Amino acid sequence: SCYLPPLRHPAVTSFLDSPGSEVNKYLIHGGKTPNNELSQKLYVMSIVPSTNKKSLLCCIEKDLVGDIPEARYGHSMNVVYSRGKSAVVLFGGRSYIPLNQRTTEKWNCVTDCQPFVYLIDLQFGCSTAYTIKEIQDGLCFHISASRNDTVYIIGGHTLESNIRSPNIYKIKV
């Protein structure tokens, strides 16, 4: 097990351990730590039954390789199922401006994340970033829902515009 810090505004989703399974697992990515730092870690949590009728909460930090999503908050994460496999779709959010652009006055300034859609294979920990021409901005604090092999992204806003987006994006994996 690992230590899971109290996070503000992480992306959270649940998924079944395997098709037909009744064991739910939960994914937690990103968020702000108590020190106001942003996390880029991905945690897998599950409830494991034990012999004395009590359940144990198991937490594992998942290592990713490839295009690793930057530390962020206010983003979304969904699990999709296609061709007998499952994958995680991660999108949007905000992050701090890069260290080389920070000054004392702008230390905690945030920026919208690039509009990349990350596809993460949980079995191998491989992460790949994709661009979708219809999505021009990395929306923050949007709503997402998934069904089978499709993720729907609704609403959200950018730093430039505090107006909620009227668009609904459909991402088919």
Neighbours of 128 (CB within 10 A): 13
Alpha carbon 38 to its chain's center: 13
Residue range 119-142: average pLDDT? Answer: 93
Residue 82: per-residue pLDDT: 86
Neighbours of 131 (CB within 10 A): 11
The answer as to whether 105 is a domain residue is yes
What angle (nearest 5°) sits at the alpha carbon of residue 14, between those of residues 134 and 162? 40
The better pLDDT of the pair 123, 164 is held by 123
Q: Is 101 helix (H, G, I), strand (E, B) or coil?
A: helix
Q: Is 109 helix (H, G, I), strand (E, B) or coil?
A: coil
The answer as to whether 136 is a domain residue is yes
Alpha carbon 56 to its chain's center: 24
Q: What is the DSSP string of 32-94?
A: B-TTSPBP--EEEEEEEE-TTS-EEEEEEEEP-EESPPPS-BS-EEEEEEETTEEEEEEE--E
Domain interval for residue 142: 11-172
Residue 20: per-residue pLDDT: 67
The answer as to whether 79 is a domain residue is yes
The better pLDDT of the pair 7, 47 is held by 7
Q: How many domains does the chain have?
A: 1
Residue 121: per-residue pLDDT: 95
Q: How far apart are CA 62 and CA 39, in angstroms?
A: 13
Indicate if the pLDDT at residue 1 is higher than 90: no
* Range ranked top by mean pLDDT from 3-7, 137-141, 142-146: 142-146
Q: What is the pLDDT of residues 11-62, one digit of tens each?
A: 999 988 766 677 789 999 999 999 889 999 999 998 877 777 787 888 899 9
Residue 18: per-residue pLDDT: 67
Residue 51: per-residue pLDDT: 76
The answer as to whether 74 is a domain residue is yes
Give the rounded percent of residues in the chain with a pLDDT score beyond 70. Answer: 95
pTM summary value: 0.90
What phi and psi values does residue 42 have, to the nearest 5 degrees?
A: -115, 125
Residue range 131-145: average pLDDT? Answer: 91
Query: Contact at 8 Å (CB) between 51 and 37?
Result: no
The answer as to whether 5 is a domain residue is no
Query: Contact at 8 Å (CB) between 68 and 113?
Result: no
Q: What is the pLDDT of residues 70-100, one digit of tens each?
A: 999 999 999 999 888 899 999 999 999 888 8
The answer as to whether 31 is a domain residue is yes
Indicate if the pLDDT at residue 109 is higher than 70: yes
Residue 55: per-residue pLDDT: 79
The answer as to whether 2 is a domain residue is no
